[in-house]
């Protein structure tokens, strides 16, 4: 999973670092005057178990004990909503700010448990109750996430389960590239095509029209060169791990792309455990692209329609469907089923998607399915 920031906490060169667990009330946690690195939080009832690392003076006046081992599985759900903090540098100050945010929203913290407690990735799931409007709550969480330097995801507690079907965009989601832009760079028209792609993914240009314009610019591109490019496409961080885990959990997966079947099929055949692939057909003549398109073009609405059709074919209710993507043409399917997770999204998409992960790889979605690191490790 992607690490963006350094571990927080007042750890100084030459100072001894202490790792301890404190048993405290939520009020005592919020009133601690000193910051330190946060390892975990476990809260069920009246007191919380707080694992921290610090140097110098302890953040609390009471004595601490040895850190507890990570739990074998995530805690049972007790509330209507879950708010998940995914931090690359978790600190007590982050936790305090988040608890003040909950109070300000008049959300009651019912329980909390830690799904990941690694130095580069701390994931804490807060179970809350409150009379909330999801869209307003989602936008509020995004604002706080920016202040914290972390991801903060809200979802209905009922969606904290493994999906039965997951749909994925390809370019900049499963792979760390926009294929059509890579082809354009090779032909010397990279800047021109990239500008069209960026406008499209940001939602400033109709996808079908932009696709036709970009394809026309690629007329004459060699089919042989396509095969070489397919071998070089980098996978997005966490893509293989997520898809492998979903297969082990019995979830069906589908690639739904406004890109090309040539590359989608290569990924399914050679790189990723995918069950279904849908993308745009390339048209060739004498071993080169003609620049023409094969209708119908897979745009945002068609992605949503195809994912719906797969669910119907497999007799899967939309409540068990998850979608993941990054661009404006993914928004329709992101708003289709159980969860719609924007991965490293464009700003407009982040504001419109039900959920968003900006600082970690695709496999961070497993935490939103209610799994902790110990459970995820067993899937490998």
Q: Is the pLDDT of residue 7 over 50?
A: no
Q: Tell which of 136, 159, 182 closes a domain.
A: 159
Average the pLDDT over 12-35 and give the result. Answer: 85
Of residues 287 and 235, more confidence is placed in: 235
Domain check: are 250 and 318 in the same one? yes
Domain check: are 229 and 108 in the same one? no
Catalytic residues: 169, 171
Average the pLDDT over 93-122 and give the result. Answer: 97
Q: Tell which of 159, 188, 206 closes a domain.
A: 159
Average the pLDDT over 292-302 and give the result. Answer: 91
Average the pLDDT over 263-283 and give the result. Answer: 95
Buried b (16+ CB within 10 A) or exposed e, 213-230: ebbebbeebeeeebeebb
Q: What is the dihedral of CA 374, 378, 379, 380, to 10 degrees?
A: 110
Domain check: are 327 and 209 in the same one? yes
Of residues 139 and 184, more confidence is placed in: 139
d(CA 377, CA 380): 6
State the pLDDT confidence band at 15, using cuts at 50, 70 and 90. low
Domain that includes residue 269, residue range: 165-379
pLDDT tens digit sequence for 70-84: 999 999 999 999 999
Q: Tell which of 95, 127, 159 closes a domain.
A: 159
pLDDT tens digit sequence for 249-265: 999 999 999 999 999 99
Buried b (16+ CB within 10 A) or exposed e, 155-190: bebebbbbbbbbbbbbbbbbbebbbbbbbbeebeee
pLDDT at 380: 75
Tell which phi-psi region holds residue 342, choosing left (phi > 0), alpha (psi between -120 and 50) or beta. beta
Residue 294 · residue 315 · CB < 8 Å: no
Q: Is the pLDDT of residue 1 over 70?
A: no
DSSP string, 113-161: EEEEEETTEEEEEEEEE----HHHHHHHHHHHHHHHTSEEEEEEGGG-S
- Burial class from Cβ neighbours inside 10 Å (0-12, 13-18, 19+) for residue 379 reads middle
Confirm whether pTM is higher than 0.75. yes
């Amino acid at each position: 999973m992607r690490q963006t920031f350094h571990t927080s906490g007042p750890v100084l060169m030459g100072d001894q670092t202490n790792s301890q667990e404190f048993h405290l009330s939520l009020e005592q946690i919020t009133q601690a005057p000193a910051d330190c690195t946060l390892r975990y939080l476990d809260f069920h009832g009246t007191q919380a178990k707080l694992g921290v690392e610090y140097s110098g003076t302890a953040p609390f006046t009471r004595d601490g004990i040895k850190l507890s081992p990570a739990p074998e599985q995530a805690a049972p759900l007790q509330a209507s909503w879950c708010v998940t903090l995914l931090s690359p540098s978790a600190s007590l100050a982050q936790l305090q700010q988040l608890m003040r945010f909950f109070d300000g929203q008049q959300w009651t913290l019912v329980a909390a448990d830690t799904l990941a407690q690694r130095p580069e990735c701390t994931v804490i799931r807060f179970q809350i109750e409150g009379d909330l409007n999801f869209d307003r709550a989602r936008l509020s969480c995004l604002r706080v996430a920016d202040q914290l330097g972390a991801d903060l995801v809200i979802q209905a507690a009922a969606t904290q389960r493994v999906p039965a079907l997951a749909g994925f965009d390809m370019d900049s989601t499963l792979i760390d590239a926009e294929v059509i832009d890579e082809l354009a760079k090779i032909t010397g028209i990279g800047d021109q095509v990239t500008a069209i792609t960026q406008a499209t993914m940001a939602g400033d240009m109709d996808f079908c029209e932009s696709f036709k314009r970009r394809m026309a610019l690629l007329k004459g591109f060699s089919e042989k060169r396509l095969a070489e490019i397919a071998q070089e496409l980098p996978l997005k961080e966490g893509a293989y791990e997520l898809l492998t885990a979903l297969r082990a959990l019995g979830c069906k997966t589908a690639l739904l792309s406004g890109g090309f079947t040539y590359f989608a099929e290569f990924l399914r055949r050679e790189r990723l455990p995918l069950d279904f692939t849908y993308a745009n057909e390339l048209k060739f003549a004498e071993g080169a692209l003609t620049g023409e398109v094969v209708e119908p073009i897979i745009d945002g609405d068609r992605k949503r329609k195809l994912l719906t059709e797969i669910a119907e074919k497999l007799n899967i209710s939309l409540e068990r469907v998850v979608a993941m993507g990054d661009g404006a043409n993914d928004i329709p399917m992101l708003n289709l089923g159980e969860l719609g997770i924007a991965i490293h999204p464009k700003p407009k998409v982040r504001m419109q998607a039900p959920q968003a992960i900006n600082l970690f790889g695709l496999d961070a979605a497993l935490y939103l399915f209610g799994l902790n690191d110990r459970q995820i490790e067993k899937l490998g």
